[in-house]
Amino acid sequence: MVTLLTDSIGRVSALARAARKSVKRFGGVIEPMHTLRISYDDRSGAELVTLREAKLERARPFLTTSLERMQAAGQALSWVRKAAPPRTPEPEVWAALEALLDQLEDPDDTVSPRARLAASGLRLLSAFGWGVDFERCVACGKEATAGQSARIDATRGGLVCRACGGARRQLSGSERSLFRDAAAGGALNDQIAPLALELVEQALKAHGGIE
């Protein structure tokens, strides 16, 4: 049994009979990190689909040569596997994940895998409808002054202004702007990546108990 994230029906569990042995039907392509073109049987009411055929649509052989790239890809896949509801198309999640895997496959990418993962985490949160608000207080809606630092509580989904009690973590104005851009597809640097990852993990935990 394999878990697939598909562009058309979202996350789905599939039965791949003798997948690892059946070179004829699956060509040994059922490994994570690659994008496949599949055909399957879907009996109504059945929880599982049955995989008929799988071909490589976009292989990512370079990604699998680096432990750091593999770890970044694996973490993102794990987030999506836990956060994506079954059989619900999530085109933005699909796009964010494909973009990350393509970046991790690019040998000339100058951004580190961990920084790519951190930015993708923020983008995935937005794609799931759990985007962290780096502009406004989640309690009263008051907008933070552009360029100014503000308090943030990712478990509550964004900034918490002083009048509403504030929060432990402070973000500078430039951090807020970098994170907002990353959620829309921008890149982060190594210095700021750990903070972004911390916020992503807090938000995922608050939304779905995802760790």
| Residues at the site binding Zn ion, with contacts judged by CB under 5 A | 137, 139-140, 142, 161, 164
Query: Which residue lies nearer to Zn ion by CB, 124 or 161?
Result: 161
Residue 157 CB, nearest distance to Zn ion (Å)?
A: 13
Smallest gap from residue 155 Cβ to Zn ion (A): 16
What is the rounded CA–CA span in Å between residue 54 and residue 209?
Answer: 32
For the chain, the 3-state helix, strand and coil shares in percent, each to the nearest 5, are: 40, 20, 40
Q: How far is the CB of 165 from Zn ion (least distance, A)?
A: 8
Angle, CA of 9, 156 and 75, to the nearest 5°: 45
Contacts of residue 63, defined as CB under 8 A and 6 or more positions apart, other chains included, come to 33, 69, 70, 73, 101, 104, 105
* Closer CB to Zn ion, 142 or 169, in the complex: 142
Nearest residue (CB) to Zn ion, 16 versus 161 = 161
For 18: left if phi > 0, alpha if psi spans -120 to 50, otherwise beta; the answer is: left
Q: How far is the CB of 163 from Zn ion (least distance, A)?
A: 5
Nearer CB in complex with Zn ion: 86/141: 141
List the structure tokens of 56.
Answer: 């490589």
